[in-house]
Structure 1
Amino acid sequence: MVGDFRALRTYTVPDRYPIPRKQETLMQLSKAKFITSMDALKGFHQNFLAPKAKKLLRIITHCGIYEYLRMPIGIKNAPSHYQRMINTIFPTELSEGWLIIYIDDIIICSDSWSLHLERLARVLHKVAEVNMKISLQKCNFVFEELKALGHIVSGLSLGIDKNKVAAVLLKPIPQNKRKMMSFLRFARYYRQHLKDFEILAK
């Protein structure tokens, strides 16, 4: 069951809390020798809703009226709210520059094995302290190269995830302006790997 919140989005005041730029995040990752990535398990759903928010997020069905108890995916300010919430858990680690938080992705960067283990322990301690749930299936602990934010990153290189390349190749040729704009938004994410992309995309 999915709620349609398009009307609510129209009346929602935008939350301007910044979400990290992916390209800057990837450049930071590409300089690390050891990387750990963790994913919050159904991250948005770990946030309880205020009583007023529950009323605004009601779903009317033929079986009755239902309310979300936790923050759903698809509401306007969910990403910014979640980014703010998780940033407040790790203020020191973020200020030291070795922890990257991209919404529900938690990424640890280090130049040495021993230092990385220390940092991993610090993060896991805080995760347990606030009772945050982590998806073990999506965790990658202490890798020299791994997949993050749609790229393959290591201390030596920054490459495109082959699965993403395959997805582009399988996409049908756009037949109208709307489909072309959708394709360009998808392709623009990898523009740093595509020579003269901005010229070709005009």
Structure 2
Amino acid sequence: MVSKLPQDALRKDLVERHPKVASFKGMLEKSRKHAMRCMQDSFSYAKDKRDKSHTTPDFKVGDFVLVSTTNFNNIKGCRKLKECFAGTLVIKALHGENAIEVELSEELGNKHTTFPVSLIKPYKSNDAEKIPLRDKAPQVIPPIQSSGIKRITKVLKERKLRTNKVREYLVRYSDPTCEDECLAEKDIPEATKFLRRLIHTRNNNITK
């Protein structure tokens, strides 16, 4: 036996709808159709714009490529000085038109081997005819000339010796050839100014 709902017992020809209900239903239907039309126009516009500027990458297995390091967080060193691309890597397999699989180096061994083509750039080797000495020229590091003047620029740390209970301070000089060294307060010119800066910096670090 199939149970019937109360509205099943009503005759449809006897049900009268209020005029405002019919008006609201018509307005709701028009709004829905207008929203669907706007969404369809938006999708069509985005697709046309993408098709005009999109070029299918022509990567092949065995090509040398570079991988963008935008999402790499495990590269050693300063993040601001890291290379924009890592490589050179070799394409091992193609996964459709939007992804490729590469052979990773030891430095990137914990990364997934598949990358989207948006993060891949083809590697172009050096032209030996245009730039013949790029690979052969030795790297020369310019020597740092010493100014001969040991001027203190900053006090880095403070320590207290256990033997004679004298406080020493690690100072840094303006000359890059001079190494940091520990000095007593009496040996530091304008010691009050540098110690005040040290205390101010230490207090700011504690509050943070």
Q: Considering fraction of residues, name the structure with more helix.
A: 1
Q: TM-score range by the shorter chain?
A: under 0.3
| Higher relative contact order (Cα pairs below 8 Å, separated by 6+ residues) | 1
Superposition TM-score, scaled by structure 2 size: 0.16
Superposition TM-score, scaled by structure 1 size: 0.16
Structure exhibiting the larger radius of gyration computed from Cα positions: 2
